[in-house]
Amino acid sequence: MEAVLEARGITKGFPGVLALDDVSLALHPGEVHALVGENGAGKSTLIKVFTGVYRPDGGELRYRGAPAAFGAPLDAQRAGISTIYQEVNLVPMMSVARNLLLGREPRGRFGVIDAAAMYGEAERVLAGYGVETDVRRPLRTLGVGAQQMVALARAVSVDARVVIMDEPTSSLEPREVETLFGVIRRLRDTGIAVMYVSHRLDELYQVCDQVTVLRDGRLAHTGPLAGLERLKLISLMLGRDLTEVRAEGVTRFARRDGRLNGEPVVEARGLTRRHVLEGVDVSVRPGEIVGLGGLLGAGRTETAKAIVGALPLDGGQVLVAGLPLRGGSTTAAIRAGVSLLPEDRKAEGIIPTLSVRENIALAALPSLGRAGVVSDAKIDRVVEIFMRRLRIKAASPHQLVSELSGGNQQKVLLARWLAVRPKVLLLDEPTRGIDVGAKAEVQALIDELAGEGLGVLLISSDLEELVEGADRILVLREGAVVGELSGDEVTEERIMATIAEQADG
């Protein structure tokens, strides 16, 4: 069958990096094609070349059997290529309904938007994706996962021959991922070609037929996914020997013995906020990794925010090393040694107009210098250490952080909070969007820091990560702690059972 969308020998460079080097890829009608590779391998760049965001330096693009060159993303969309970019590019201040139907709002006489019709239509469309929300609300008031579902629904509900998804599931919970897969299969069965980027390899095997692997901007492999062993796929991505990868395994938390003594370094008592948290108690001891389990909306992120003073509370108290922390002040929390890597890095973290170096050093500056004077050399050293340890791929420390690939931006934020050398680190989805190789390294680093006495509160939708990492797990549901698991009880089954038990009861 003829390809619907094709890249032939595409090359694209940015100052200091050849992001795509002679890449060819053919996408056929009715196939779900996985595009994988390490952070910075060139996946998003290839997508942006396909959709007219970037103009290639060399090579040819073909669409529906003829040479194509889209001047802008809107041209690609009009021609039938619908894309969900890695960075959600909706308008946060506008209503959910408007975002969903942007550019094709139902209009009445004189071309005025028919609000009632628009809200009705939006509700109907979203219900099909299992999203129940007030479509009049500004989009920004929705959680990251729900926002992503809106972006998905929008992309899929336009008439398209090709649907491209760049890490669509990174902030979705299992139920939503199932919904999405249902949608993808429906698209495939109607002859639409789907291109799918994800770092969650288990997902690829559930939904993809073909796979293309990029490594350092070059094509490393392309072919059917069935029959390609998962470890083999990883070795292709990393460019390392299969035997080597097999010997090392995939997750990298070491087993520690469960005996942890000492007083809690942080202790939260009765954290309460109307409709959000109902008297949550959490404590973390030095060297302990405490996991928070639960579904989306259970209150995990809110608990972490409450501890660092980023969520106004109706009641409760946080003690650090036995001393009460002033409520509602993140500065006080940082000074006391409590840091949070937030979930929504786009909104709460990365400062796009600053360099990699400045983004890393930002939070650590006060602690690096005496009397407000920080030597450049000292900053350079800290930045250099973390860029190396987290394998942050950038042309130089002075590159704008917004020019880094999505996964590398995440690593920059992680570096920022590690550079502070906190006593307690709260990590909200620390490895989301990070490739398999770097993920293992981030996990090893968390493990090592805990070994040095850092207390860690770990939030992760990746159950495997939670189970392997945590010494103890608190399960949350509807803003309350409904179970605690420790030692041998820390298993995926027990977490799921604890969540389900409560749901039935």
Ligand X SMILES: Nc1ncnc2c1ncn2[C@@H]1O[C@H](COP(=O)(O)OP(=O)(O)OP(=O)(O)O)[C@@H](O)[C@H]1O
Q: Which stretch binds ligand X (CB under 6 A): 286-294, 354-362, 403-411, 496-504?
A: 403-411
**Terminal-residue alpha carbon distance, the chain:** 53
Determine, following the binding rule CB under 6 A, whether residue 318 of this chain makes contact with ligand X.
no
Q: Based on CB atoms, which residue is closest to Mg ion, 45 or 133? A: 45
Q: With contact defined as beta carbons under 8 Å apart, do 25 and 46 qualify?
A: yes
Q: Based on CB atoms, which residue is closest to ligand X, 19 or 211? A: 19
Q: Is 249 exposed, middle or buried (0-12, 13-18, 19+ CB in 10 A)?
A: exposed
Q: Which of 33, 43, 188, 305 binds ligand X (CB under 6 A)?
A: 43
Choose from ligand X, Mg ion, none: what does 19 bind? Cβ within 5-8 Å by kind.
ligand X
Q: Based on CB atoms, which residue is closest to ligand X, 31 or 435? A: 435
Q: Other CB atoms closer than 10 Å to residue 451's CB: what's the count?
A: 11
DSSP for 309-365, written as a single string: T-S--SEEEEEETTEEPPTT-HHHHHHHTEEEE-S-HHHHT--TTSBHHHHHHTTTH
Q: Which of 5, 19, 382, 481 binds ligand X (CB under 6 A)?
A: 19
Gyration radius of the chain over CA positions: 23
Determine, following the binding rule CB under 5 A, whether residue 287 of this chain makes contact with Mg ion.
no
Determine, following the binding rule CB under 5 A, whether residue 433 of this chain makes contact with Mg ion.
no
Q: Which stretch binds Mg ion (CB under 5 A): 24-32, 38-46, 226-234, 431-439?
A: 38-46
Least Å distance between CB 393 and ligand X? 5
Least Å distance between CB 35 and ligand X? 8
Q: In angstroms, what CA-CA distances link 94 with 30, 97, 100, 133, 368?
A: 34, 8, 10, 14, 41
Of 490, 499, 480, which is closest to residue 458 (Cα–Cα)? 490
Q: With contact defined as beta carbons under 8 Å apart, do 38 and 238 qualify?
A: yes
Determine, following the binding rule CB under 5 A, whether residue 44 of this chain makes contact with Mg ion.
yes
222: Cα within 13 Å, side-chain hemisphere: 12
Angle at 385 between CA 381 and CA 387, to 5 degrees: 115
Q: Based on CB atoms, which residue is closest to ligand X, 441 or 489? A: 441
Determine, following the binding rule CB under 6 A, whether residue 432 of this chain makes contact with ligand X.
no
**How many residues belong to the site for ligand X (CB under 6 A)?**
20
Residue number of the CB atom closest to Mg ion: 44
| C-alpha–C-alpha distance, residues 89 and 92, integer Å | 9
Least Å distance between CB 76 and ligand X? 17
Determine, following the binding rule CB under 5 A, whether residue 169 of this chain makes contact with Mg ion.
no
Q: Other CB atoms closer than 10 Å to residue 223's CB: what's the count?
A: 11
| C-alpha–C-alpha distance, residues 211 and 414, integer Å | 30
Q: Based on CB atoms, which residue is closest to ligand X, 27 or 404? A: 404
Q: Which of 406, 430, 455, 469 binds Mg ion (CB under 5 A)?
A: 406
Q: Based on CB atoms, which residue is closest to ligand X, 281 or 403? A: 403
77: Cα within 13 Å, side-chain hemisphere: 15
| C-alpha–C-alpha distance, residues 379 and 368, integer Å | 8
Q: Which of 56, 407, 469, 483 binds ligand X (CB under 6 A)?
A: 407
Of residues 93 through 152, those in contact with ligand X by CB under 6 A are: none
Of 253, 270, 288, 304, which is closest to residue 429 (Cα–Cα)? 304
**How many residues belong to the site for Mg ion (CB under 5 A)?**
5
Choose from Mg ion, ligand X, none: what does 359 bind? Cβ within 5-8 Å by kind.
none
Determine, following the binding rule CB under 6 A, whether residue 45 of this chain makes contact with ligand X.
yes
Chain residues in the site for ligand X (CB under 6 A) = 14, 17, 19, 37, 39-45, 86, 393, 403-408, 435
Which residues here bind Mg ion, judged by CB under 5 A?
A: 43-44, 86, 405-406
